[in-house]
A and B are shown apart, each in its own frame.
Chain A
Amino acid sequence: MIDKIIENKNKIIIAISLIAIGSIIRILFHANLPAFKSTFITINGVTQSMFILDLFFIVAIIAIISGLALGGYYTFIVPITIMIITDIAIGNNWILLFTWSGFAILGLLGFLLKSKRNLSYKNIPTFLGVGIVGILIYDLWTNFGTWLGGFGYAPNFSGLAQCYTMALPFMLWHLLSTTIGLSIVLITVIYLKEHRLKLPEVNVAPFENQMTYAIPVILIMLALLSVLV
């Protein structure tokens, strides 16, 4: 056991650092975000601010980077640990299984990218494209959960459409903030990798590989059960 820890000490240090950064930022700033008052969007007869700010992008970027740079169990342990720590500190409600599974999916996408593409400048557009797809999946999934939980929306197609309409400012902010943030982080990591930083090898044992795919699926099943049962 100690040998394994020593062997993986770089990964453990990076994982703990990511967890600390994500938790501290989320706890400190969750209640201090400004309103976006300069642009408005009207969809389905509802006018709202074009962006409603939140700190999704912090955990999302960390989830993708955990999958990309660390892999294996870290893919879901890092983002979910951030959510556990911050949810205990700032609170959450029944939707938590949907958000946790959403971040696990983002981590898994990062892990899938790692196995297909090297961390290099020429692959940045691909990483960003997959990141955008991941954000859309996250928002569609968590808002589906909001509707399914009967959180003030009618249990029909019209209620679902209303739910997604109200979620639009959040989704647009998620797309904007995560794309910009992920670009900055990826460029920085790749630059450091090419000049000084030695990233730990992503050697994943077969069982660990299977668990990396299984955990998001289990969380999705638990989220659905929490609402339907």
Chain B
Amino acid sequence: MLDFNLSNTFINCMNQNFKEKLFFSLKIIIPLIIVIFLFLAGVSVGVITFEPPEKKSQGEISALIEIKVDNQIILSKELTLINATVLDFLLELEKLGDISLKKTYWEQFESYVIDSITYKTIKYEADANHYWSYYINDEAGLVGADQQIVNDENKITWNYEEF
């Protein structure tokens, strides 16, 4: 009788131990399965991809580029380029001698950030209180200027903004 009670207790302990280990494993395995499932679901519906977004060829495009400081347009020009990004239009202004530009490439963002634009000897520098931001048809750009393709008849506005 005593042997039977001891065996029963031993089996109960084993079951309890096994249950604890099982719950512990499930707490790790279930979230992992959910993450893997979400990743695979994202890949299957095309939300997650393994190729960078392609630049679509736009051919020759004309766009108006403006530079604004303190809500005043200090420079405005109509330019025509081929398959250009927002940054290309700004670089074109620099090539024409209208402005001079300083920019930095941020590897982690895979994008350029404008450090300063100098127009008529006045340097408008990005600092602790200011930054340069671009808008396409008055809508804020969502990606780096070197990744944003410009369409025909777009209006590009570079705005010197305050934090």
Contact = CB atoms under 8 A, between A and B. Distances in A.
Given A40-B52, A122-B24, A49 B46 contact: no
Contacts of B42: 41
A153 interface: yes
B51 interface: yes
A48 interface: yes
Interface in B1-53: 20, 24, 27-28, 42, 46-53
Interface string B139-155: 01111000000000000
A161 B24 CA distance: 37
Nearest to B20: A122
B161 interface: yes
A54 B107 CA distance: 11
Interface residues of A, number: 33
B46 A40 contact: no
Contacts, number: 63
29 contacts: A32-B107, A33-B107, A33-B108, A34-B107, A35-B107, A35-B109, A35-B110, A37-B52, A37-B110, A39-B50, A40-B49, A40-B52, A41-B47, A41-B48, A46-B142, A46-B143, A47-B49, A52-B108, A91-B128, A93-B128, A94-B163, A121-B24, A122-B24, A125-B27, A149-B163, A152-B133, A152-B140, A162-B142, A166-B142
Interface of B: 20, 24, 27-28, 42, 46-53, 107-110, 128-129, 133, 140-143, 161, 163
